[in-house]
Structure 1
Amino acid sequence: MPKGIQRITALPHPDLLDLWKSIVVDEDIKSRLLSQAVVSFTVRPKVSRTVLPMHGAILLVGAPGTGKTSLAKGLANELARLMTQTKFTLLQVDPHALASSMMGKTQKAVSDLFGQTVAEAALKGPTIVLLDEVETLAADRSKLSLEANPVDVHRATDAVLVQLDALAEAHQNILFIATSNFPQAVDAAFTSRCDLVLEVPLPNLKACEQILTDCLVGLGKTFTGIEQLPQSHGYAALIKEVHGLDGRAIRKVVANALTSRREVALKPQLLSLEDIRTAAKLAKAARVKEKQ
């Protein structure tokens, strides 16, 4: 596996099909994302960059647990399913594998990743590159102190921008999908190069209900009876309890509820709405404590 690449996947891939469906967000968000991705491969190659200065990059921002990474992978797969005339490749970048304590090593690793690995993949066909935690590679240079941060961090951001420009010019069949939990930490020059910056919000009440219901119904396939909880009296009140948590946290609430009582841990079918409610309150209390 090339340095800095976590995984290479030929698209479409059946394992990624459910990701797109599993992330519960407003359909407008999914529609806009898919449309932007399509335009990157249909319009961008045919129009001069002096007319449409597109870089083939999308940035997804939002709180941890909102499903940005899963949404990015699902988007890549959905795009490949839609554009059936050609095969796509998904490159998942591991930004932490590029960091080095040796002067100049991170910059070189970034340049090699973009200039060689990504470019070579693009020569073989349409390529989608997932840049998770992009602030690791494109840190906001205006907020970095040369005394506190090594020069290499600054140079790594410079390298990302230079390579992004070069790839946008030389290869119109590459789409970068970046994610960040901390958009304020992403360099403004990187953000300005993105064709679309989209916030993935916390789930609203309706989405919370769908996430929790899907989780319980899925759990009920293994432990019969749990799937009936959404029809129980008091379920609507429970939805209000989990509202304000992200999708991942809501599912973890259910996991934690299974450990709330020994009898439930031994026999999950005994899980009750009260167990889930208690776990939800604990999860929210922990979030408040983290912010203090």
Structure 2
Amino acid sequence: MKRDLSGGEDNGDKRVVFLPSRGAGSGDVDAAGVLDSRLLPDRDFLAQWDAVIVETAQKDRLLSQAILNFTLREKVNRANLPLHGLIVMHGPPGTGKTSLARGLAARTAEAIGKLGQFRFIEVEPHALAGAALGKSQRAVRDLLGQTVAEQAERGPLIVLLDEVETLAGDRARMSMDANPIDVHRATDAVLAQLDQLAAKYPHLLFIATSNFTRAVDGAFLSRADLIENIGLPGPEACRSILRSALDELARACPGTASISQDAEFERAAKHCVGLDGRRIRKLVISACALRKQTAIDPNGLTATDVLEAAIQAQEESKSIREEQS
């Protein structure tokens, strides 16, 4: 199937036309705990999906599970086939989980737009978890039980719970320094609302991300229909990510276009193994800042600069790991 970013898709026999993307805030949801709301599919989110380099099979699993949520849930008895409408992505910071989640929302809406106008909400978890003592439970209940429920009444809805450990913390591991009773109640509220929403709205999907699954409550994870580990990129993915970042730089600075053809590029790519995708992309920026001349005019960047930045990034990463161990 060929995507047409002008606003439609050609699937061979018929053309599906989408509403034009209007970007951040286009979902018109103004409520406490909502970071962003959009109409789907969204061009920015589709671009994020394409930009995150992971195995194709992994993207296929995520998309298939998301689609299944909308095509099967309302047809089966949840007591026998418990689809909760929850996908969890976990892994180290910088591996693209949030971008994948946003992109997954857009790709799902693109794939099954016949169900109606899809909407998207991104929750601001820290705003809820940071509520005054005794208020977190109410904030969670208001967001999920009212705001999300109201939007789910309007049609297909996808909700992103980024850094979900701040909302559904593991009750068995709570510290006495973190208002454990309040956090315990907030987690209880999340679980109760998830169950109620799953039962009432079959066209509602939650996508949650976490850097620390050990900090996420086990009862929350047990409700997930799919738990997908988004790990550090392998050697070939590192090479592709570095090339992608350099290609983007070359769009703005054509003088750098030949860097990825240089032998030093291959050495730099090997030094990227063990880094997360975000750090690999940022090392291209770091390379531009190695010298004042290239900061003024990045067209003068060389493959040797990129290699030096990759080596520095590895050393910094190693130092951080040692400090944290």
TM over 0.5: yes
Q: Measure the CA separation in 2 of the matches of 1:103 and 1:234.
A: 55
Aligned to 1:65: 94
Q: Deviations over 1:228-267 (max 9, x none)?
A: 1111123222210111111110011000111101111122
**Contact 2:45/2:103 (<8 A) preserved:** yes
Q: Distance in 1 between matches of 2:317 and 2:130?
A: 33
Q: Does 1:47 align with 2:76?
A: yes
SS at match of 2:258: helix
Residue 163 of structure 1 deviates from its aligned partner by 0.6
Which residue of 9, 12, 18 maps to 2:47? 18
- Give the superposition deviation at 1:150: 3.7
Cα offset for 1:282?
1.6
Equivalence for 2:205? 175
Match of residue 4 from structure 1: 33
In structure 1, stretches of 5+ residues that fail to align are none
In structure 1, C-alpha distance between the alignment counterparts of 2:178 and 2:241, rounded to whole Å: 42
Candidates 216, 223, 245, aligned match of 2:275: 245
> After the TM superposition, which of the residue ranges 282-291 and 21-30 deviates more from structure 2?
282-291
Match of 2:144 among 114, 118, 123: 114
- Equivalent in the alignment of 1:136: 166
Q: Please tell me whether residue 206 in structure 1 is matched to residue 236 in structure 2.
A: yes
> In structure 1, what is the Cα distance between the partners aligned to 2:270 and 2:130?
46
CA distance in structure 1 between the partners assigned to 2:183 and 2:43 by the alignment: 37
**SS of aligned partner of 1:98:** helix
Taking the aligned partners of 2:185 and 2:205, their CA distance within structure 1 comes to 23
Report the identity percentage: 48
Q: Give the SS at the match of 2:35.
A: strand
Partner deviation per Cα, 1:132-167 (whole Å, 9 max, x = no partner): 000000001110134553411111111101111111
Greater alpha carbon shift after TM alignment, 234-243 vs 29-38: 234-243
Amino acid of the structure 2 residue aligned with 1:265: A
Q: Deviations over 1:265-287 (max 9, x none)?
A: 12211111221122112212222
Q: Structure with the greater relative contact order (CA < 8 A, sep ≥ 6): 1 or 2? A: 1
CA distance 1:162–1:90, shift in 2 (3 Å): same
Report the CA distance between 1:10 and its aligned residue: 0.4
Q: Is the 8 A contact 2:140 2:189 kept in 1?
A: yes
CA distance in 2: counterparts of 1:147 and 1:99, whole angstroms: 14
- 2:178 and 2:51 map into 1 onto residues whose CA distance is 41
In structure 2, which of residues 58, 64, 70 is the aligned counterpart of residue 29 of structure 1? 58
Shift of 1:103: 2.9
| Runs of 4+ displaced beyond 4 Å | none
Corresponding residue for residue 262 of structure 2: 232
C-alpha RMSD of the superposition: 1.2
Equivalent-residue separation in structure 1 for 2:290 and 2:263 (angstroms) = 21
Distance 1:131 1:274 in 2: 41
Instruction: Tell me, yes or no, if the aligned pair for 1:218 and 1:227 is still in contact at 8 Å.
Output: no
Superimposed CA distance per residue, residues 91-122 of structure 1 (whole angstroms, 9 cap, x where no aligned partner): 00000111345332110000011100111111
* One-letter amino acid of the counterpart of residue 259, structure 2: L
Partners of 1:258 and 1:234 lie apart in 2 by 16
- What is the distance in 1 between the residues matched to 2:268 and 2:47? 26
The answer to whether the 8 Å contact 1:6/1:92 transfers is yes
TM-score normalised by structure 2 residue count:
0.87
* Match of residue 256 from structure 1: 286
Residue of 222, 227, 240 corresponding to 1:192: 222
Pairwise CA distance, 1:29: 0.4
| Contact 1:130–1:176, Cα closer than 8 Å, also in 2 | yes
Could you say what secondary structure the match of 2:145 adopts? Answer: helix
8 Å contact kept, 1:139–1:153: yes
Q: Give the aligned residue type for 1:63.
A: P
Alignment correspondent of 1:160: 190
Distance, in Å, in 1 between the alignment partners of 2:81 and 2:264 is 53
Q: Is the 8 A contact 1:60 1:199 kept in 2?
A: yes
Residues 199-233 of structure 1 show CA distances to partners (whole Å, capped at 9, x for unaligned) of 01111111111111111111111111212111112
Is the 8 Å Cα contact of residues 139 and 185 (structure 1) preserved in structure 2? Answer: yes
Secondary structure, aligned partner of 2:263: coil
Distance 1:175 1:211 in 2: 29
Contiguous gaps of at least 5 residues in structure 2: 1-29
Deviates more, 1:26-35 or 1:205-214: 205-214
